[in-house]
A and B are shown apart, each in its own frame.
Chain A
Amino acid sequence: MEPIESPAARQIEPGTSEGSSYAANSGLAAVSAPAAPVREERRRKPRTWETPPAPVPAPHLDDYKNIVGQAEIDELRFLAEGLKGKSLKMVNSTAVGGGVAEMLNQMVPLLNEVQLQTHWDVITGGNDFFEVTKAFHNALQGSDYKLTQQARDIFLMHNEQNLKRMQFTEDLIVIHDPQPAALIRARQDASRRWIWRCHIDLSNPNPDVWGFLRPFIEQYDAAIFSSQSFSRQLSIPQYLFYPCIDPLSEKNKDLDDNFVQQVCDEFGVDRSRPIVTQVSRFDRAKDPVGVVQAFKQARKYVDCQLLLAGGGATDDPEGAIVLKEVKEAAGNDPDIIILDLPPWCALEINALQRASTIVVQKSIREGFGLTVTEALWKGKPTIAGAVGGIPNQIIHKLTGALVHSVDGCAYQIRYLLTHPQFAKQLGENGREHVKENFLMTTNVRRWLLLCRILLGRTGE
């Protein structure tokens, strides 16, 4: 058994009595501040369990009945009836990994289940293509980039190759993100509807890259964005599809409280005291150091523990630096528990969120902020930075608390911990808000609606 480095440390050693059960089998590493040497030492040991679990089979629409109600499911089927005989193709750039592939893996079977014949194609490309599209991706989200003729040529050449390889015979074709955007050149007649689904934040794009892509985008019939603030002024209709979570996924499904307790025990989280949690990568945009500072301010007045559960410190050099900064900020505080988890620890994250008294997402830059959605879905009073898509989810003092500073965050932690009835109401409202707007079934509804609107089948 490894030595315990600080009073708060619960170092889990696979194969020992202390480190038995699921944690030993999932490759989790608990690090208490400042316990970096221990974690590094553990990493030297071969850990054959450090592989992702097998994917869970995609759910059926009726599986959501107990969550959203029979009436909602019936409405989806009625909506789909107006699309009988119609077909849809989704095109993106990867079959595995990343949020888009994950969403399509769940969405495509559900759309097929309601008889909207849905195909999913993935474009191919060499390293040169994906290097260019990665650079485009970053540039469109505001990074500096010098667009060269060579990059344009590579982008167009690979789109052309895919265009020749693929067929577009469906009634509706949805192209996801910038990588395959030039496939619109395959459009031959006006009878098919082409939709561009943009999953990234275009609020401040590199003008050269956007100037290059925009003429393609404006040939589509419609564009979809994840937040109003991510959109651009375009000559085509733009729709708003919020990202969503799957309430049946490992990350979000209901858990037995015994399992939640087991996870807390493994990581040394004391459920008899209030737990303040932030789940996010060790990334400056998520301001984990600010969370530590806010926690320390708040704890002067209320007893609580801080749990920072994240990842990205192993495979991202900057993540490792940020983790180090977080540990320095935490100092030798036994009430701050820092977990660097591999990406397939969805069940454990779920358990930790459920064990939390308050969830914080003190981002200073953010995409949509699905960790906020996850926390709200679990009925947790949530405090979050008013950035990106977070204000779509948190209506201040109604479905959570929006903050703009460390001081604001500290105050809200204090307030919610000392006003549990109000905190409970926020949590309940937040869960309803997610149920109404940010669940998988809501996005099935949006896709069906969009298809009907673009095909002129509005039922009026």
Chain B
Amino acid sequence: MSAAAPAAPRTAVKPFYFNTSAHLLRITRQKANTLAEFLDALRECPEASIFQHTFRTLEEHHFLREGFSNDFGQWVLSACNEPSLAEGLASVDVREFTSVAELRARFIQIVGDFLTRSPAAATRNARETFYFCAADSVVIPTNFVARTLHEFAEGLRGVSVHCIHHHFIEARLRLKLMSNDFSQWLHEDLGLTDAARQLNRLDIYTATLDDVREQIIRIVERALI
């Protein structure tokens, strides 16, 4: 039997438009000097604050491979010196949430449970104030559009890490699915279900966003063969 011929390049029904989102930091009214104030602020702050201090801050620190998950965990560790609570907060994986409301509820639960167990920690002054900020966002296009897998890989190489974050991490808040724009397109428009699944298994917390980009490109290139 002769060797299999190279797969014909598939053309998607709908092209993939690489967009990106740019964010501006707005300072909100909420701030916390103690864990009790922090819990109150978590309840009261706008959803854009929860988004900023979790999804967005992960993007801002995209170059770190370890030690940073979200601003809440970082502050509790460095300013409140509560490592067990910090670990609980830092272990929250934003990709398990498809709405900011659910994410907020999770943080409230973690802090609330901790303060129930350790009430003395509630009013202890933190070394630094936590200022709740919010992200105001603008969606912008890029120069890249993909109709084939090859063009898709080219786009992945050419766009900024902000674009990768927009489609790969933030997307679930738009889609309301445990997925991302890349996987959705690969699955729905190119029928590459395996590649779509592999993308969803990438660990964004132990890699930089550039590492994640490389891993996505490798999966896409394997699908090209």
A: residues with CB less than 8 A from B are 69-72, 74-75, 78-79, 82, 225, 228-229, 231, 233, 237-240, 386, 391, 395-398, 402, 429, 432-433, 436-437, 445-446, 449-450, 452-453, 457-460
Contact = CB atoms under 8 A, between A and B. Distances in A.
Contacts of A74: 142-143
A285 to B, nearest CB: 18
Contact of A450 (B24, B68, B127, B139): B24
Contacts of A396: 78
A245 B162 CA distance: 21
Nearest to A386: B128
A238 B26 contact: yes
Interface in B100-153: 127-129, 131, 133, 136-143
B14 interface: no
Given A75-B162, A398-B67, A229 B131 contact: yes
B179 to A, nearest CB: 20
Contact of A239 (B26, B127, B160): B26
B60 A72 contact: no
Given A69-B160, A395-B68, 14 more contacts: A70-B158, A72-B160, A75-B20, A78-B142, A238-B27, A240-B26, A395-B74, A398-B61, A402-B78, A432-B63, A450-B24, A453-B136, A459-B138, A459-B139
Interface in B56-84: 60-64, 67-68, 74, 78
Contacts, number: 94
B223 interface: no
B159 interface: yes
Nearest to B157: A71
Nearest to A459: B139
B138 A240 contact: no
B29 interface: yes
A78 B140 contact: yes
Nearest to A452: B138
B67 A75 contact: no
B19 to A, nearest CB: 9
B138 A71 contact: no
A244 to B, nearest CB: 14
A229 B141 CA distance: 34
B169 to A, nearest CB: 15
B163 interface: yes
Given A79-B22, A446-B24, A433 B139 contact: no
A75 B78 CA distance: 34
A430 to B, nearest CB: 10
Contacts of A71: 142, 158-160, 163
A71 B159 CA distance: 5
B24 A78 contact: no
B63 A429 contact: yes
A228 B163 contact: no
A194 to B, nearest CB: 17
A309 B141 CA distance: 46
Nearest to A237: B26
24 contacts: A69-B160, A71-B160, A71-B163, A72-B160, A74-B142, A75-B20, A75-B142, A79-B140, A82-B140, A228-B131, A238-B27, A239-B26, A239-B27, A240-B26, A391-B128, A398-B67, A429-B64, A433-B61, A436-B61, A436-B62, A446-B24, A449-B136, A449-B138, A459-B138
A104 B213 CA distance: 36
B25 interface: yes
A372 to B, nearest CB: 16
Contacts of A75: 20, 22, 140, 142, 160, 162
Nearest to B68: A398
A386 B160 CA distance: 32
B18 to A, nearest CB: 10
A228 B29 CA distance: 11
Given A386-B128, A397-B67, A445 B22 contact: yes
Contacts of B62: 436
Contact of B137 (A69, A239, A458): A458
Contacts of B141: 78
Interface string B3-27: 0000000000000000010111111
Contacts of A445: 22
Contacts of A82: 138, 140
A240 B20 CA distance: 21
Contacts of A437: 60
A239 B140 contact: no
A397 B64 CA distance: 11
A224 B150 CA distance: 44
A239 B129 CA distance: 18
Contacts of B20: 75
Contact of B138 (A231, A402, A429, A453): A453
A386 B26 CA distance: 23
Nearest to B128: A391
Contact of A433 (B25, B63, B131): B63
Nearest to B31: A228
Nearest to A445: B22
Contacts of B24: 239, 446, 449-450, 453
Nearest to B141: A78
